[in-house]
Structure 1
């Protein structure tokens, strides 16, 4: 399958009657040089299992949408934006892992959650809850190292997850420039002069397992030209879905800064 945005090469073994490999190539050299083999592995697994074919199609649609928005709606690079989020959730997990002496279940139930990558859906997700019986069944000693390595494990699918992606929006939003790779501010290494001139800082956010953290707000100050804006926004999907009343949904949306798009 091929197109102007992505090319999907499916390697099939007629002798064994099975799919060997799905290889995704991108239209731009920059994207191709930064491709993630874990995406190919996920698509190979899903295309090899008829029950997961709908997920395979959804993931191709997601990759196409991210690349299309980057090319046609730009100059925002959606893949870079997603990577910034991935870097932050992993960095916060590592901080909480150190603060709890490696207590992964505590991070799941009381902290920021567990950073997962390419579990069912391409891109980052956060495991934020699990039933008590599932928590006791999982070998967290093994899981701890797998999460750090950014790999996947079958037990992740039993966790309640929040998948993060991007879609077109009705209003423009600003995003970090290409030379910034974190929204999370590291006071020990970041250049404070650059922030004073170009960035707003969000109020310190308190996490139950950590001291307050600071995040960059991609909103230009006067005369700052380092930001790009586009009709694109971050979106979050819960798996499994959480059913709440309209009123509760509005309260959560207002707290999280989510705009009601009326659908």
Structure 2
């Protein structure tokens, strides 16, 4: 695979990755800390790979304000095409050139709540090249009895498959339900940098379904991708109106400080892109 084209490289890192803050005391969303994301309507077309990147470059040359959230969040074919073309150089370019920090932070959070707690079964949602699991194994010494990964990009999965770390790898669009995993089948579920591409926050229901009671769910959520998930997370962590179902389904047990996703970035649109790692325990 060739390296991502200059147009694709410039466009892709601005792919927003998705809530903002929940009060640890009352588990309610803090509206004041949320930056309301306003996006312009953009003709996203269905071009993939080079065609999609060329169309975006043409729009930018013409001075059009193309929202990356609208562009990538609504066009799965384009997202898949770009990641397929980026798979072989993804880690070098995102980690070395941009300082992409969230894989390590997601691994840290997952390890914090897994070490010494009898966690045996892991699901890595949007596993890509398998870098988060690689960190869990090599940096934190975690070895799961069963680890599964899923991703939209078949080429990213090919790289992950070559590493031979997962027991189960599947190509999966996580906005399509149900996921091909049994109910309550995982002790911990992690997801780094994927939810920004999924406009339907109802996918959190599948995170909930496949996690066992008492299990952990770790989500990397960028500030600029919050708007679509704010209400759903409030629902999952609130007992309001759920008396007959036993109250809130999720408990927020840890939320990282605000973190810079691309600390080495020189492009203006990538500077100051902030995120948090949210760690929830499934009640029950």
Higher relative contact order, chain-length normalized (CA < 8 Å, sep 6+): 2
| TM, length-normalised to structure 1 | 0.24
Greater fraction of residues in strand: 1
Larger radius of gyration: 1
Normalized against structure 2, the TM-score is what? 0.23
